[in-house]
Amino acid sequence: MTTGLLSRVGCATCLHTRNHLIKEVEQKRKDNIMLNYTQMKEYVYKRLKELASKEDLITYGDLLHEMGINEQESWDEGQHKKLRDILGEISSEEHKKGNPLLSALVIHKEGDQLPGKGFFVGLFEQIGRKPILDPDERLQVWLLEIKKLYKKWKQKN
């Protein structure tokens, strides 16, 4: 269902952009420089647009890994919270523009393979939508959001 950044092959422009982002992140990792919040948000936004245009998904862990963050260590460093905040901001901003919620593309690797509670409860409350608690309803709402995303971003590319 999901694929890692390096194993995807896309259009020349997408591939160039992705390679540039990878090199930038890898250089920061070599220099022991953590991405700051703004850099993380910029990377995540570009990455989510790329995934939407290719009708693809990514796990939370894979997204953290692409930014050079070890998933296990990230709990101690607060990187999961930072990622959650970034995903919420990006989707809120897109919602204000009348666009679908890009963070729907980020899912759990195990279990339901859907976005987390923060998507269905926190984000939905933030943008004025009814929180979704029922698992079956979550699946239906998520599938609808994914369809909207793929249609929207496929048109842009």
Contact, 64 vs 79, CB < 8 A? yes
pLDDT at position 2 = 39
pLDDT at position 151 = 94
The model carries a pTM of 0.78
pLDDT at position 20 = 63
Question: pLDDT tens across 83-115, in order?
Answer: 899 999 999 999 999 999 999 999 999 999 999
Q: Where in the sequence is the domain holding 71, given as residue range(s)?
A: 5-156
Query: Dihedral angle at the C-alpha atoms of 109, 105, 155, 45, nearest 10 degrees?
Result: -120
pLDDT at position 71 = 67
Q: How far apart are CA 32 and CA 28, in angstroms?
A: 6
pLDDT at position 19 = 62
Per-residue exposure over 87-109, b if at least 16 CB sit within 10 Å of its own CB, e if not: bbbbbeebbeeeebbbbbbbbee
pLDDT at position 26 = 59
pLDDT at position 1 = 39
pLDDT at position 9 = 34
pLDDT at position 48 = 97
Q: Which parts of the chain sit beneath pLDDT 50?
A: 1-12, 32
pLDDT at position 16 = 57
Contact, 56 vs 47, CB < 8 A? no
Closest by alpha carbon to 51, among 92, 100, 98? 100
Number of domains in the chain: 1
